[in-house]
Amino acid sequence: MQLPLLAVAIATASTVSAAASAPGWRIMNGITGSFCVHNALLPGNRLMCIERPHTHPYPYLNPNTNGRTSVIIQIDPDAGTIDPKVNALSYNAFCAGHSQGANGEIWVVGGDRQFSTTSFDASIYDANGNPPTGDPAGNTFLNPGIDRIRKFTPGDGAAGTWDESVQMSSGRWYPTVVTMYDGDLFIASGSLKNLVFEDLTVTNNPTYEFYPQRFGKAEFTNEIIRWAFPHNLYPVAFQLPSGKIFMMVSNRTATIDPTIDPGNNEANVNELRNVPAIDHAPWIYPHTPTSFLMPMYEKTGYVAEVVICGGSKNTTFMASSDCFSIQPDNPLADWKALPNMPNARLMPEATLLPDGTVLFTNGMGWGQAGGDAGQTQYAARPVFATDLYDPVANKWSTVESAKIMRSYHNGAVLLSDGSVITTGNEMANYLEFWGNYDAIGPLASFVNDQNGKNASCFPSNITGVCTLPWEMRVEQYSPQYLFNGPRPVLASISSGTKFTYNSTVGISLDPKGAPVTRITLIRYTTTTHSTNTDQRFIEPVLLFVNSTYAVFRIPPNGKIAPPGNWHIFGLSKDGVPSVSQAVLFGSGPATSVPIPTTSGALEKSVALFMAVLVATLAL
């Protein structure tokens, strides 16, 4: 029984039908069903989304999922459509951290326990498998998920299985997860309970752990995580080419060597320099910046450079436009300032694009992250502007503005066609509630003062006529590069094909497509809360190319290129990307195809070798 919902509007998408005809944004046709707090891309342009189970503060469940919380959304980037199918969870995965695993599985670690006071009871579900409507206590009818390590194994289409059986020794709300060089997980921080800044007594969890366990211990205390509390949620972390893990918490940074037993004195930790002191709040939730690895190039030895951008100023709640970077594997590593972003934002998303540029979307100009869906969000002044960073020229430009506000709980994901989608925001009723986007003041009164606000939008008012707060529309950005000429076309590579590290591989090109001048590789993404440990861009040297065939080297190992699904793009001389092919990078004996010396040379032997190679790799 969820009839009150019928009186409430969910924002629906406008109708679109064909491939975008010009650079810029368009709202896709359809809704996500589940509200995408957590996003993971699967091959075939499928997006796995996980939401907050909705019985608080709105006293009823999301009508699309009935609180089952996870969906697989089939996206058609050309037609501009999305189509979600529920793929239910039993343990609450909202507030989890996640990463893509070595075989393309998605690991979802930790999550929520608030509002889940009962243990899981299948008998409460009706004959159709739907849970009862929300009760006044706010039960979500999911088990508390804060201590779970979940594995999602995608199947065909909307199919896929969840294994939610693994239990951690401590709870983690807002942890960061990194898939390491060998497919093991590094899981950092998170709090023992939902962190409330007003009550910081019992929530610190100053630890990290490996999954599977290393050195015979469930978890390890870390001084930096401990020191930074309460500014230690969703730490910045990346696998580095040296094999170490980069970790940044607030303004302190370190590398952690996952092959060294920490012992009693953190023998595995090497602290680096602090981020320079400027007028900036701690570089972490709730003053959320974003982070990414600069594009890495084979020709310059795969140097890793961590970038952090945005967040907010310390003296005011205004967003920051600052960006800094560091090369943590350099023994003399220190932070350096990058040019400021054209538009200051907190809660931004940075998305690596196939041509090696970085797209900045989403976020707000004032306030902070946090809060419940609806009226108690803490941020104002949505940033619709879209900025593009070119790491080679070290320059920013501003491109077309988005239409949909992306405040707290947003996401952005690169699709295989080179377009980018954005998701989320728990304040879709913002304008109706506040009246305008600029209404700011002291944070406390912004959060608490409901005087003069539109009563029909209060969560308690289920007869109200406001738009529901959960933004279920997807907006798609088509960059200029899609309109600069014809696309190259890569021959299709069957799903699940594994490319072994350090192999020299050949891929077939369709001569009807534009000639290929670059091959670029981007790892598949998961993202939440401006935290994306997965995406990374690597450009191999093109060892040979003609109109039908290209040869390049797969990166040497998982430290440089962590295992899992990667996009392979071919780029034309005008920088127009092909549609990508998905392949798994992984371990195994390196194979090598001969590198032709002239076009047409080695024709027969290569064709034969390729047939053998593909047969081997497909195992």
> Of 294-353, which residues contact ligand NAG (CB under 6 A)?
314
460 binds ligand NAG (CB under 6 A): yes
Q: Is the peptide bond prior to 596 cis by the omega test (within 30 degrees of 0)?
A: no
Please state, as a whole number, how many other Cβ atoms lie within 10 Å of the Cβ of residue 479: 23
SS (H, E, C) 15-34: CCCCCCCCCEEEECECCCCC
Check residue 87 for interaction with ligand NAG (CB under 6 A): no
| Residue 439 C-beta: closest distance to ligand NAG, Å | 13
Residues 6+ apart with CB under 8 A from 271: 224, 252, 253, 254
Shortest Å, Cβ 377 to ligand NAG: 17
Decide whether 399 or 489 has the Cβ nearer to ligand NAG.
489
383 binds ligand NAG (CB under 6 A): no
Assigned token pair, 362:
């989403």
Counting contacts by CB under 6 A, is residue 462 touching ligand NAG?
no
Among 282, 513, 558, 577, binds ligand NAG (CB under 6 A): 282
Site for ligand NAG contains 251 (CB under 6 A): yes
Q: Of 587, 585, 586, 568, give the one whose Cα is nearest residue 577.
A: 568
- Residue nearer to ligand NAG on the CB measure, 9 or 158: 9
Closest CA to 248 of 235, 258, 239, 257: 235
Sheet containing 518-523: order of strands: 296-297, 537-539, 518-523, 564-571, 581-586, 498-500
**What residues form DSSP beta bridges with 186?**
178, 210
Peptide bond into 230 cis (omega under 30): yes
Q: Would you say 320 and 376 are in contact if contact means Cβ atoms under 8 Å apart?
A: no
The pairing of beta strand 518-523 with beta strand 564-571: antiparallel
Residue 66 or 320: which CB sits closer to ligand NAG? 320
Q: Say how many residues touch ligand NAG, by CB under 6 A.
A: 32
Nearest CA to 111 among 47, 58, 60, 37?
37
458 touching ligand NAG, by CB under 6 A: yes
In the bound state with ligand NAG, the residue whose beta carbon lies nearer, of 154 and 241, is: 241
- The residue range among 34-42, 328-336, 569-577, 596-604 that interacts with ligand NAG, by the rule CB under 6 A, is 596-604
Indicate whether 502 belongs to the interface with ligand NAG (CB under 6 A): yes
Does position 546 bind ligand NAG by CB under 6 A?
A: yes
Q: Which of 549, 552, 566, 569 lies at the binding interface for ligand NAG (CB under 6 A)?
A: 549
For 460, the 3-state DSSP assignment is coil
Cβ 320 to ligand NAG shortest distance, Å: 13
The binding track of 557-576 with respect to ligand NAG, each residue x by CB under 6 A or -, is x-------------------
Task: Provide the minimum distance between the beta carbon of 458 and ligand NAG in the complex, in angstroms, as a whole number.
Answer: 5
What are the angstrom distances between the C-alpha of 574 and each of 283, 348, 481, 549? 37, 29, 8, 19
Q: How far is the CB of 430 from ligand NAG (least distance, A)?
A: 11
Is there binding between residue 517 and ligand NAG (CB under 6 A)? no
List of residues contacting ligand NAG (CB under 6 A): 250-251, 274, 277, 282, 314, 432, 454-458, 460-461, 464-466, 502, 546-549, 556-557, 592, 596, 599-603, 606
